[in-house]
Amino acid sequence: MASVSTTTPGADWEYAPAPESREIVTIRPEYGLFIDGEIVPAASGESFTTLNPASEEPLASVAQAGPADVDRAVAAARRAFDQTWGQLPGRERAKYLYRIARAIQERAREFAVLESLDNGKPIKESRDVDIPLAAAHFFYHAGWADKLGYAGFGPGPRPLGVAGQVIPWNFPLLMAAWKLAPALATGNTCVLKPAETTPLTALLLAEVITEAGLPPGTVNIITGDGSTGAGLVGHGGVDKIAFTGSTEVGKEIQAAVAGTGKRLTLELGGKAANVVFDDAPIDQAVEGIVNGIFFNQGHVCCAGSRLLVQESVAGAVLDRLKRRLATLRLGDPLDKNTDIGAINSRPQLDKIEGLVAAGEAEGAQRWSPPCPLPARGYWFPPTVFSGVSQSHRIAREEIFGPVLSVLTFRTPEEAVAKANNTPYGLSAGVWTEKGSRILWMAQRLRAGVIWANTYNRFDPASPFGGYTESGFGREGGRAGLAAYLHA
């Protein structure tokens, strides 16, 4: 598929396509489950198809794990916890984690191409963000494995046991790394359920884990739909549930886990405010706004989906933002020039279209740059709504797509009140040249992560997580280790 340029018509030069080759990836026609160190078919023999969302081309048939498979995976993880992995000293666990980290780096191009094929995200994001960060998470946690006794958890911190981990489709390999690395570093064993639309990089990770020589059953990967996730959450042999995904499913999981004694962390949705003051460096702020909402097609829980801009500079910011958006290139995710890739699935595209239609119906003004969309696949152009009021659905609900809602404010107090007027509390951004104002805002914004003069920066050493409807618990840093240890 050719890349489609959104540059202004009449511009006198054009990018030539620079497609990354997909030759480096071998996609098998069928994939089984990874249980007890082996690839096995689902007990029921059922499977589902995973698609390339940029072309709707079927990529592979993947096993659909049912209750018997969940049972087998949890039993394998329990054996590994009791007999092998759970008995290893931290310095031995670290060696395996370092091996996984290095193998991800060695096979980075393969992982990046596979991620872009299965997810639809631009290769420059999978290559420069997802895969390097996934490796970084294993490196970082390898470093902790033999130092847990000195990390403030008491002299002999104990792992919880078997962790059941359910992850979404927006950062498939990276979310697998966020879940597996801290659990393994602290001595737990894992059963991981990737999202139905993006199972392939987790299954490639299973290959890496096998080559790294982890004892069978230490990591089990069971593919399937929401019913597989629900089966894992409800399984009596699991000690801890770690979930990233929608607030709606997070609430169901919290209800299912209540009273069982299982430990739980939930990383859910968001509707973050990206707040731009009149003293902010406007060009940098515009880059931050673009990165905040159009990175990964806006399929980001911490996306800066509400722009709060000080009224005196709103016109200038909006003008420059529109000029910048006209230079974004939407199209083939494997083209190294592409900025905006495909929407991950038909249901997600339907959800975005539905909320955008609601935005127009409620009276906000919709704008997109000239942006022809490819004929096949799931696509949505970068979209900006101005004239948005706080009661509009596009200002309240997580759209999880490339759609920005612009609101204005006059005073810092008003900015804080509007930023906090959301049921969520995951992240926020502040753009100002005054350090004192950054601290003043950070004290008042109710969000787990606050970026100052930047946006969407991630580091394994920095804890990530939210409040209220964005969930609870932290991933990354020392706080992330605590989520996998007995208090």
Q: Catalytic residues, which ones?
A: 267, 301
Q: Residue 225 in contact with residue 199, Cβ under 8 Å?
A: no
Return the number of the residue (114 or 166) whose C-beta is nearest ligand NDP. 166
Among 122, 229, 333, 382, binds ligand NDP (CB under 6 A): 229
Return the number of the residue (201 or 310) whose C-beta is nearest ligand NDP. 201
* Residue 119 touches ligand NDP, criterion: CB under 6 A: no
* Residue 122 touches ligand NDP, criterion: CB under 6 A: no
In the block, tokens 């020392």 appear at 478
Q: How many residues make contact with ligand NDP (CB under 6 A)? A: 26
Site for ligand NDP in 333-352 (CB under 6 A): 348, 351
Which one of 200-208, 222-230, 371-379, 452-460 is the stretch in contact with ligand NDP (CB under 6 A)? 222-230
CB of 300 to ligand NDP, least distance (A): 7
* Residue 125 touches ligand NDP, criterion: CB under 6 A: no
CB of 112 to ligand NDP, least distance (A): 20
Which one of 39-47, 137-145, 161-169, 183-191 is the stretch in contact with ligand NDP (CB under 6 A)? 161-169
- Which string of x and - marks every residue 364-403 that binds ligand NDP (by CB under 6 A)? ----------------------------------x-x---
CB of 73 to ligand NDP, least distance (A): 15
Q: Residue 11 in contact with residue 179, Cβ under 8 Å?
A: no
* Residue 148 touches ligand NDP, criterion: CB under 6 A: no
* Residue 118 touches ligand NDP, criterion: CB under 6 A: no
* Residue 195 touches ligand NDP, criterion: CB under 6 A: yes
CB of 345 to ligand NDP, least distance (A): 8
Among 148, 301, 355, 419, binds ligand NDP (CB under 6 A): 301
Q: Residue 137 in contact with residue 164, Cβ under 8 Å?
A: no
Among 113, 192, 253, 308, binds ligand NDP (CB under 6 A): 253
* Residue 406 touches ligand NDP, criterion: CB under 6 A: no
Closest by CA to 126, choosing from 391, 342, 441, 393, is 342
CB of 274 to ligand NDP, least distance (A): 17
Among 35, 75, 173, 233, binds ligand NDP (CB under 6 A): 233
Q: Residue 482 in contact with residue 155, Cβ under 8 Å?
A: no
CA distance 68 to 462: 38
Which one of 88-96, 168-176, 180-188, 356-364 is the stretch in contact with ligand NDP (CB under 6 A)? 168-176
CB of 266 to ligand NDP, least distance (A): 10
* Residue 269 touches ligand NDP, criterion: CB under 6 A: yes
* Residue 187 touches ligand NDP, criterion: CB under 6 A: no
* Residue 225 touches ligand NDP, criterion: CB under 6 A: yes
Would residue 213 be called left, alpha or beta, if left means φ above 0 and alpha means ψ between -120 and 50 degrees?
Answer: left
Which one of 10-18, 116-124, 192-200, 280-288 is the stretch in contact with ligand NDP (CB under 6 A)? 192-200
Query: In the complex, which residue's CB is closest to ligand NDP?
Result: 229
Among 60, 136, 166, 343, binds ligand NDP (CB under 6 A): 166
* Residue 235 touches ligand NDP, criterion: CB under 6 A: no
* Residue 244 touches ligand NDP, criterion: CB under 6 A: yes
* Residue 101 touches ligand NDP, criterion: CB under 6 A: no
What would the 3-class secondary structure string for the chain be? Answer: CCCECCCCCCCCCCCCCCECCCCCCCCCCEECEEECCEEECCCCCCEEEEEECCCCEEEEEEECCCHHHHHHHHHHHHHHHHHCHHHCCHHHHHHHHHHHHHHHHHCHHHHHHHHHHHHCCCHHHHHHHHHHHHHHHHHHHHHHHCCHHHCCCCCCCCECCEEEEECCCCCHHHHHHHHHHHHHHCCCEEEEECCCCCCHHHHHHHHHHHHCCCCCCCEEECCCCHHHHHHHHHCCCCCEEEEECCHHHHHHHHHHHCCCCCEEEEECCCCCEEEECCCCCHHHHHHHHHHHHHHHHHCCCCCCCEEEEEHHHHHHHHHHHHHHHCCCCECCCCECCCCECCCCCHHHHHHHHHHHHHHHHCCCEEECCCCCCCCCCCCCCCEEEECCCCCCHHHHCCCCCCEEEEEEECCHHHHHHHHCCCCCCCEEEEECCCHHHHHHHHHHCCCCEEEECCCCCCCCCCCECCCHHHEECCECHHHHHHCCECC
* Residue 438 touches ligand NDP, criterion: CB under 6 A: no
The footprint of ligand NDP (CB under 6 A) covers 166-170, 193, 195-196, 225-226, 229-230, 233, 244-246, 249, 252-253, 268-269, 301, 348, 351, 398, 400
